[in-house]
Amino acid sequence: MSLKLIRPRYGTFSGGIDLPDEKDATLESPITPIEHLSHLYVPLAPVHTTPAKPIVSIGQRVHQGEKIAQSSGDGQVDIFAPVAGRVSKFCQVILPVNTPASLCQNRDEYIIGWRVSPAIELVDLDEFEPFPSTSSTYDWLAADDISLCERIAEGGLITFNQRTVALANYISAARNAGVDTLIANVMENTPYITSDHRILTERGLEVIGGLSIIARAMKVSNVILAVDHRRTDSYRQAIAPSRLHGIRTIALANKYPIGSTAIIIRVLTRRRVRAEGEGLEVGVAVVDAATCLATYRWVVFGEVPAARVVTVSGPAVKNPANLLIPFGAEVGEVFASAGAEPDCVTIHGSVMTGNEIIKCTTPTGESIPAVVSASTNALLAMDQQSASDDVTPTPCIRCGWCSDSCPFRLNVAALNDDFELGRINSAKRRGCMYCIDCGICSYICPARLPLARRIKLLKLAIVEETARR
């Protein structure tokens, strides 16, 4: 039945690889709210610009969903208290940075992969209450696109992908760019991660609702829900109503990195995104399931975005699960509750593109925690030995697998030579900027060269060189 509604395969791209799936641990585990958090560090700059201004004072009690910081424009959003609690102090947290080289303002952040954001610490927390079943407060089917945009802007909604931006800004940029296609990207084809899969399985109707709200706000008629062709049976609940909203569901073959924005646009619309460019430039907007869910919860029920579904998994985790975690929960606490082994490599994001969670301290010795934010789709813990870089790199043997599997067909071995010899212009001519940091080249290299990392650094060098000229 569902197979009839879904087109089996749409297209593919050259390069790419089949990664091990490793999702079994959490594929069937339902979304459960996390319990027993002792404190939250709510980041005041979820979007990488000027932080929002706190409007609470120390010692004040806040209830769930109360506004605690006011955006000062500049693309930032208002911050709400994810859980009821007491403001104990103003502090700092670190958040991952995944901006492309040409847009990054601070080279240290690009190299380290983390940035610092001010935060508000909440203690004496009440139990976290997810998805309170309030009745609908807003009739979105009757609203026009302008009022939907305004409503989205009020709620402090952000996109839940790696490049977090305010959803209202994204929508207005899409409207200005004359976007004609909206893609909900639920491919999620890196190992271990199942958060978007669970969201679409359990809350499919709300995701579809949120997707059509965004589509209506963007004034887009061509809406595509891209799902993994192996999991279509789980999405039955969502797919039938999606037809009512004029959403096409397309099942794509699961070949990494089809979930990356540039590739999914190429596969579904045959348009090519400029190197390091955005889909909006070619008239395509891409959102993910978590964003749609949060949009629906806010627009229809007036529930501010306070938490996100995070897959906590990996070989070094005893109880892998899909947890609903409020923003600002310290990752150490999350790993402890999932039973991670003490001596493991902890990763924020996917194993292919994520960042290792590193320690950061102030000069006075106070440690700055990493927290769950909108871009945290997974927190993974790997054993020391299964994390790859331990092996010393040997010379490149020119097997050619890297350039075979690179989705952009870059000659990665030659780029590696350019890195070793410092030939920045030659790397630029070889199209280094097209790299999307998918990590396949490092994954596949039999000489264990850290190619993806080197290319990331090359891109920075190219951008700096171009700016200097």
Partner 1 sequence: MNDLLKQPASLNHGRLIWSRPKHYAPFIHLPESSRNIYRVIFIAASLPLMAGIVIFGWRALMVTILSVAGCVITESAYYRITQTPAMHGRMHGAVTGLLLALTLPATVPWYVPITAAVFATIIGKALFGGMGHFLWQPALVGRLAVTVIFAPPLFNTNLVAPAKWSVLAQNRVILGDVCKAKQIEIYHQWQGTPPPTDCDAFKLPRPRKILRKLTLSTDQPPESITSVILKMPPAEDLILGTHGGGIGETSAVIIILAGLYLIHRSYIRSYLPGMFMLAAAITAAVAPVRTGDGLSWQWCPITAEGIEIGFIYVAYHLASGELLLAGWLLATEMTSRPITASAQAIFGILCGAAAMLMRLYLDFPIPAYAAVLLGNTFTPLLDAAVRPRALKRTPHEFYEKI
Task: Identify which of 18, 6, 2 has the alpha carbon closest to the alpha carbon of residue 256.
Answer: 18
Structure tokens at 36: 């027993």
Question: What is the rounded distance in angstroms from the CA atom of residue 438 to the CA atom of residue 53?
Answer: 36
Binding mask 113-142 for partner 1 (x = CB under 8 A): xx-x--------------------------
Count the alpha carbons within 13 Å of 305 in the hemisphere toward its beta carbon. Answer: 30
Question: What is the rounded distance in angstroms from the CA atom of residue 361 to the CA atom of residue 94?
Answer: 10
Residue 351's binding partner among partner 1, ligand SF4, none (Cβ under 5 to 8 angstroms by kind) is partner 1
User: Least distance to ligand SF4 from the beta carbon of 216, Å?
Assistant: 34
Task: Identify which of 371, 359, 461, 382 has the alpha carbon closest to the alpha carbon of residue 415.
Answer: 461
Site for partner 1 contains 274 (CB under 8 A):
yes
Among 120, 338, 351, 374, the residue binding partner 1 under the rule CB under 8 A is 351
Residue 416's binding partner among ligand SF4, partner 1, none (Cβ under 5 to 8 angstroms by kind) is ligand SF4
Which positions from 187 through 226 interact with partner 1, judged by CB under 8 A? 191
* Dihedral sign for Cα atoms in the order 427, 431, 435, 439: negative
Site for partner 1 contains 439 (CB under 8 A):
yes
User: Least distance to ligand SF4 from the beta carbon of 314, Å?
Assistant: 22
The secondary structure element, H or E, covering residue 402 is: helix 401-405
Question: What is the rounded distance in angstroms from the CA atom of residue 212 to the CA atom of residue 248?
Answer: 11
Among 203, 231, 297, 430, the residue binding partner 1 under the rule CB under 8 A is 430
Binding-residue total with ligand SF4 (CB under 6 A):
29
User: Least distance to partner 1 from the beta carbon of 92, Å?
Assistant: 8
Question: What is the rounded distance in angstroms from the CA atom of residue 397 to the CA atom of residue 400?
Answer: 8
Question: What is the rounded distance in angstroms from the CA atom of residue 173 to the CA atom of residue 441?
Answer: 33
Decide: 293 and 207 in contact? Cβ < 8 Å.
yes
Site for ligand SF4 contains 436 (CB under 6 A):
yes
Task: Identify which of 244, 255, 250 has the alpha carbon closest to the alpha carbon of residue 269.
Answer: 250
Among 77, 125, 149, 455, the residue binding ligand SF4 under the rule CB under 6 A is 455
Q: Single out the segment in contact with ligand SF4 by CB under 6 A; choices: 121-129, 155-163, 330-338, 451-459.
A: 451-459
Give the pairing of strands 53-54 and 85-96: unpaired
Among 29, 50, 88, 102, the residue binding partner 1 under the rule CB under 8 A is 102
Helix axes 204-218, 167-177, angle to 10 degrees: 50
Q: Single out the segment in contact with ligand SF4 by CB under 6 A; choices: 134-142, 268-276, 354-362, 408-416.
A: 408-416
Site for partner 1 contains 282 (CB under 8 A):
no
* Dihedral sign for Cα atoms in the order 424, 429, 430, 431: positive
By beta-carbon proximity to partner 1, the closer residue of 305 and 439 is 439
Site for ligand SF4 contains 437 (CB under 6 A):
yes
Site for partner 1 contains 414 (CB under 8 A):
yes
Among 441, 458, 462, 463, the residue binding ligand SF4 under the rule CB under 6 A is 441
User: Least distance to ligand SF4 from the beta carbon of 185, Å?
Assistant: 17
Question: What is the rounded distance in angstroms from the CA atom of residue 378 to the CA atom of residue 356?
Answer: 12
Interface ranges with ligand SF4 (CB under 6 A) = 396-402, 406-408, 410, 412-413, 416, 435-441, 444-447, 449, 451-452, 455
